[in-house]
Structure 1
Amino acid sequence: MPRRYLPELLLLAALWGASFLFMRVSAPEFGPVPLIELRVAIAGLVLLPLLWARGQLGQLKTHARALAVVGLANSALPFTLFAFATLFLTAGLTAILNSTAPLWTALVAFALWRESLSPQRLVGILVGFAGVVILVWHKLSAVDALWAIGACLLASLSYGFAANYSKHKLAGVPPLVSTVGSQFAAALMLLPLACYYWPEGTISNQAWLAALALGIACTGLAYLLFFRLIAHVGASNAIMVTFLIPVFGNLWGALFLGEHLTLTMLVGGLVILAGIAISLGLVRRAALSQAS
């Protein structure tokens, strides 16, 4: 990756890592569903003028069905599950579990789309999930934590499905169309539940600011950065953000919430990231680069 794009990659990782901090701050007051309704609605509104300026609004209707599926699988469901998880888990631990998405993506591609699963990718998946076992083993006796961990893994699985579905059903559709359409689709799906579960008490200014930051910075701005990186350095380089999100998730949790990175989290997280690197072929690529 050209060095001039590294600041953008770091900013993207910082924004997506901060999403777990903002959810942990605001989810207890809003509740998971109302918070995510705000997140996706704000993100859609932030990006809508850009879509209009590019003359791509008409494509929302053309691809409405596929965008609805992606809205559910890539935003409404996983965002809500992660918001629920932050009620019981630290921002850092949630960010590490989020990093398993590439492993699920490979498994879903094999199971539903019959894509080949090379021995190297299989080894990477097994190593990655061994890291998950290390990470959560000591929490299996706590019922609330167990539900939260399950929610994180289901959310990451949902991301894996959405990535594969988008690849097959939205190929050739401008990324901004996919993003705006999926955010508004998610907002429409969550609206009835958000109204039903809207908190009766007063919501603090801190929670409102966290919700706004979650929608504007961690979703709207972050997606724009992600698509810019894909356009300039390619998807294989942009996906490197996966390795940096847990770093920032733990950093923000430590700085602003007083969370601690335990030895179990460090070891489990590193094993997960090693599995992702093997699965994506980054280990072989690095070895070949050094050999040449």
Structure 2
Amino acid sequence: MPLPSFLDRLAPPLFIFIWATGYIVAKLAAPHADPLTFLCWRYAGVVALMLVLALAASAPWPSRREALHLAVAGVGIQALYLAGVWVSIRRGLPAGTAALIVNLQPVLVAAAAPLIGERVAPRQWLGVALGLAGVVLVIWHKLTLAAGFGLPLALCLMALLAITGGTLYQKRFVPRFDLRTGQVVQFSAALAVTLPVAALVEPMRIDWHRDVVVAMAWSILVLTAGGISLMFYMLRHGRVTAVTSTMYLVPSVTALMAWLLFGETLGPQAIAGMGVTLLGVYLVVAKKQETAA
């Protein structure tokens, strides 16, 4: 099997697994670090790692115009998205509610796809709807309306809009770039935005407990360097609607991880929801023979 074809097949399931661990990492680090402070250390670590890799490989740097577009996309995809999710959960929004809100992203992306020249077929719209229905089934038992109002909800909605807007912006203005130098630019922009806010609203507490060290290492080496790189690879080689629709699978995989690691219950409704979600994602991403116009 040619290498690009192998990567195309491997990237989606690997991305889903890595992205789903984000909730586990957040739960692990939360008792020992302020959320924005943790993210600042994470961004700085990614910048250092990617800078070393870029310099070692003499990787090409983006032009000034491309760097500006990458920075704008990075503020959305990294700074605003991660800050919104981490702070909203820290302030009491249940993870299930946050997952439901953020996983509205494929719906927004599908609706906006014509703006970047993509056509969404009726079969894909059906898949988007089924995917959302499956997510609701998986996390329905975790939803609590009482915690879904006020600042936490607003922050989570900000995260949804930020990652959606950032993804569409990047696909439109800078779809191709070196992943090493590109992430140096994006995470530098994320750090520049997040650090002053963290200094303003947090005591910037971080206790280098074993759990924080593990969470930080996983966040830098796997979640960011691996997960973000895979997402960018898929965006480069696929249609944005199909790529973002794989996000529907994240709550199901997270529920399985929580069941295995923390003994959380996984009832028949959740299992049925996973099946519906899988069907929905299949309808969105499955290749269909196009007839000549």
TM-score (norm. length: structure 1): 0.75
Contact 2:61 2:178 in 1 (8 A): no
Q: Hey, what does 1:213 align to over in structure 2?
A: 218
CA gap 1:172/1:139 in 2 versus in 1, 3 angstroms: closer
Matched, 1:76 2:64: no
| Equivalent-residue separation in structure 1 for 2:10 and 2:136 (angstroms) | 33
Matched residue type, 1:173: F
Distance in 1 separating the partners of 2:163 and 2:228:
15
For residue 125 of structure 2, what is the aligned residue in structure 1? 122
Amino acid at match of 2:254: G
Cα distance in structure 2, aligned partners of 1:265 and 1:82: 22
Deviation at 1:171, TM superposition (A): 3.1
Q: Deviations over 1:200-234 (max 9, x none)?
A: 47453312321232122211133445566788xx4
Q: What letter corresponds to residue 74 of structure 1 in structure 2?
A: I
Measured at CA, do residues 105 and 176 of structure 1 come closer, stay the same or move farther in structure 2, by a change above 3 Å?
Answer: farther
Query: Which runs of 5 or more residues in structure 2 are unaligned?
Result: none
TM superposition shift of 1:12: 4.0
**What's the CA shift for 1:256?**
2.8
TM superposition score normalised by structure 2? 0.74
User: For structure 1, which segment, 175-184 or 130-139, has the greater mean C-alpha deviation from structure 2 after superposition?
Assistant: 130-139
Deviation at 1:138, TM superposition (A): 5.6
Instruction: Give runs of aligned pairs for residues 122-161 of structure 1, distance below 5 A.
Output: 122-134=125-137, 141-145=144-148, 152=156, 154-161=158-165
Match of 2:17 among 14, 18, 34: 14
Displacement of 1:67 in angstroms is 1.8
The question of whether the paired residues in 2 share the 8 Å contact of 1:95 and 1:249 is answered with no
Letter in 2 for 1:18: T
Within a 5 Å distance, the mapping from 1:1-292 to structure 2 comes to: 10-56=13-59, 58-59=61-62, 61-87=64-90, 88=92, 98-110=102-114, 112-113=115-116, 115-134=118-137, 141-145=144-148, 152=156, 154-196=158-200, 197-200=202-205, 202=207, 204-225=209-230, 234-235=237-238, 239=243, 242=247, 245-278=250-283, 280-282=284-286, 285=288
- CA shift in 2, pair 1:154/1:51, >3 Å: same
Q: CA deviation at 1:62?
A: 4.2
Shift of 1:26: 1.0
1:181-205 Cα deviation digits (max 9, x unpaired) = 1111111110112223144474533
Q: CA contact under 8 A between 1:14 and 1:248: conserved in structure 2? A: yes
Q: Which amino acid aligns with 2:82?
A: F
Change (3 A) 1:135 1:85: farther
Report the secondary structure of 2:197's partner residue. helix
Question: Which structure 1 segments of 5+ residues have no match?
Answer: none
Deviation per CA, 1:118-152: give whole Å up to 9, x if none.
33333333333444554566666532256667755
In 2, distance between residues paired with 1:51 and 1:241? 29
Aligned-residue CA RMSD in angstroms?
3.8
| Closer/same/farther in 2, CA of residues 31 and 200 from structure 1, 3 Å limit | closer
In 1: Cα distance, 2:139 partner to 2:249 partner: 20
Within 2, Cα distance between the matches of 1:227 and 1:71? 12
Equivalent pairs, count? 281
